[in-house]
Amino acid sequence: MAIKTNKDKLLKQVLLGKIAPPVMFVQGGLIGAYMTTWDGKPKIGAGVGGIKYNVKVGGSCYGWPETEYLSPGVSFLGYDDSSDGSSYNMKGTAQAFVKYTAIGTKVTVVNGDGKGIEGVVTGKGGTGISGKHVFVHFKNDDLEKLNIGDKAKFQQDGVGLEIEEFPGKVFNMSPSFLESLELKLDGDVLEIPVAKKVPAVCMGMGVGGSSAESGNWCIQTNPPHLVEKYGYGDLRIGDIVACRDVLMDYGKGYYKEAVTVGVVTTGASDVAGHGPGVMAIASSKTGKIKPIIDPDANIAKYLGLEGN
């Protein structure tokens, strides 16, 4: 049975963001210091924030030297927020910017050389400073027109989205993106395409945390044999994954028989307990989600993104 939603009743409003500069990965409160990998080696930890010309949704989570939580495309902050400090220090306007945006949100640049160009939200960050960031995909030819600090309006319309007759929750999706997934209900069980299934034992940094609308929960990707054992060596930014016995509603934790489906929004990590961040898009405490394996289940496919 095709799904029905409450999309016609949702609030539509404009949010304002600005392009964030690149920032150093933060470990142990030491801003700008080398971070330490799971096996005791120093690493710069580049890749958070800024404008990326060659990192896109659909690309591999691995193989990017010296990076940690590599963010795809263009990273945005709330228009009046600072690029320094963790997400715990966000202003109310900045929190609204992060929590209200969703995959599929339409973005339009409003100043600078790129005024008038359009993009689309592909996800959010979730650790330290990256927890302030919203990621936007722009066409290749438009990236050269963008500069750090440029502002853009975000046409938000996904807060409060619900699927009728589904005894679970959905988050972080615009109605247009949700419809592109072509989801179905089998009775009250929601069928969702996923690239991979993730057992609770693989979930690392991010347990506890905040609501599903902000912050990610990592899939642990070290030591390397863990990746090999569970088959995550081909994990891509933008992959849709089903986390078993995991609940990300009003916090993030183990919950027997629960299923949370999320999107991998960032690259991998070499820090113990860390890895690609998963942002929740649907959850059920009682297992009323049926993951349907599809190796091509990546948001680049459903959003029709260029260059993937």
Q: Please tell me whether residues 214 and 283 are part of one structural domain.
A: yes
CA gap 30, 4 in Å, rounded = 48
CA gap 101, 110 in Å, rounded = 17
How big is the CA angle at 126 (ends 275 and 308), to the nearest 5 degrees? 70
Residue 163 belongs to a domain: no
- pLDDT of res. 148: 97
Domain boundary at 156, 188, 212, which? 156
State whether residue 40 is helix, strand or coil. Answer: coil
Phi, psi angle pair for 292, to nearest 5°: -110, 115
CA gap 110, 152 in Å, rounded = 5
User: Does pLDDT of 26 surpass 70?
Assistant: no
Q: Please tell me whether residues 152 and 197 are part of one structural domain.
A: no
Tell me the sheet residues that pair with 175: none
Question: Which residue is it, tokens 């440029």?
Answer: 150
- pLDDT of res. 32: 58
Domain boundary at 109, 126, 156, which? 156
Q: Please tell me whether residues 43 and 111 are part of one structural domain.
A: yes
* CATH number, domain with residue 221: 2.102.30.10
Per residue in 198-217, pLDDT tens?
999 999 988 887 788 888 99
Mean pLDDT of 274-285: 95
Residue 1 belongs to a domain: no
Its domain, for residue 101, covers 10-156
Q: Please tell me whether residues 235 and 298 are part of one structural domain.
A: yes
- pLDDT of res. 184: 95
- Sign of the alpha-carbon dihedral angle for 8, 11, 16, 17: negative
Between strands 240-248 and 252-264, the pairing is antiparallel
CA gap 128, 87 in Å, rounded = 6
- pLDDT of res. 94: 86
Residue 2 belongs to a domain: no
Q: Please tell me whether residues 98 and 173 are part of one structural domain.
A: no
Q: Please tell me whether residues 261 and 212 are part of one structural domain.
A: yes
Mean pLDDT of 67-75: 95
Q: Please tell me whether residues 117 and 21 are part of one structural domain.
A: yes
- pLDDT of res. 85: 64
Of 137, 79, 78, 115, residue with least CA distance to 265: 137
Is residue 280 within 8 Å of residue 161, measured between CB atoms? no
Residue 187 belongs to a domain: yes
User: Does pLDDT of 86 surpass 70?
Assistant: no
Alpha carbon 163 to its chain centroid, in Å, reads 21
* CATH number, domain with residue 116: 2.40.10.170
Q: Please tell me whether residues 124 and 202 are part of one structural domain.
A: no
Mean pLDDT of 113-125: 96
Residue 308 belongs to a domain: no
Average pLDDT, the chain: 91
Domain boundary at 122, 156, 190, which? 156
Between strands 35-36 and 42-43, the pairing is antiparallel
Q: Please tell me whether residues 98 and 206 are part of one structural domain.
A: no
Domain count within the chain: 2
Q: Please tell me whether residues 273 and 245 are part of one structural domain.
A: yes
Is residue 237 within 8 Å of residue 209, measured between CB atoms? no
Q: How confident is the model at residue 28 (pLDDT cuts 50, 70, 90)?
A: low
Residue 3 belongs to a domain: no
- pLDDT of res. 210: 77
Residue 164 belongs to a domain: no
How big is the CA angle at 15 (ends 140 and 133), to the nearest 5 degrees? 60
User: Does pLDDT of 31 surpass 60?
Assistant: no
Is residue 24 within 8 Å of residue 197, measured between CB atoms? no
CA gap 212, 231 in Å, rounded = 26
Q: Please tell me whether residues 132 and 194 are part of one structural domain.
A: no
Per residue in 132-153, pLDDT tens?
899 999 999 999 999 999 999 9
Q: Please tell me whether residues 144 and 38 are part of one structural domain.
A: yes
Residue 119 belongs to a domain: yes
